[in-house]
Amino acid sequence: MLSLQEVTIHKYKCIETEQTFTVDDDTTVLVGMNESGKTSILEALAKTNYFSDDKDFTFNTTHDYPRREKKRMEKSGVIPKAVTCKYKISEELLDTISQDIGENVFVQKEFTRATKYDGNNTFLDIAALASK
């Protein structure tokens, strides 16, 4: 129904500079040396859409934000983005949406969702209403 297309890890644990990678429908492989951040990437992804209410799978600036930059982030007063994910909507889901709310009401085939450290999500690139 939804397929993950691209991931950007903004800052998370050992990942101090923004990292973006595409996700292939068939195979995506994370390769790296020990302690390079492979587990951190998977953890961050899990925290963007965990299937149950579990405090261990929520973003926490104390435990998850890179320590070297934490004080600067706190002083800024800005709640930073942790992860941004781009999704593709399947034709089947678009057909279901059309049946539920009408033809050409929702025409978006992709959308992007940014998850912040406070757990709030921002949806980007959404064009829900077709112009008539």
The Cα–Cα gap between 40 and 7 comes to 13
Amino acid in the structure at residue 128: A
Residue 79 CB neighbour total at 10 angstroms: 14
Q: Provide the b/e sequence for 47-74 (b: ≥16 CB within 10 Å).
A: bbeeeeeeeeeebebeebbeeeeeeebe
Domain 2-124 has CATH 3.90.1640: no
pLDDT in tens, 21-74: 999 888 778 888 888 889 999 999 999 987 677 787 899 999 999 999 999 999
**β pairing state of 19-22 and 81-89:** unpaired
The Cα–Cα gap between 96 and 13 comes to 39
Residue 97 CB neighbour total at 10 angstroms: 16
What is the pTM (predicted TM-score) of this model? Answer: 0.85
Domains of the chain, residue spans: 2-124
pLDDT in tens, 89-130: 999 998 998 899 888 877 789 999 999 999 899 998 876 554
Contact in structure between 88 and 36 (CB atoms under 8 Å): no
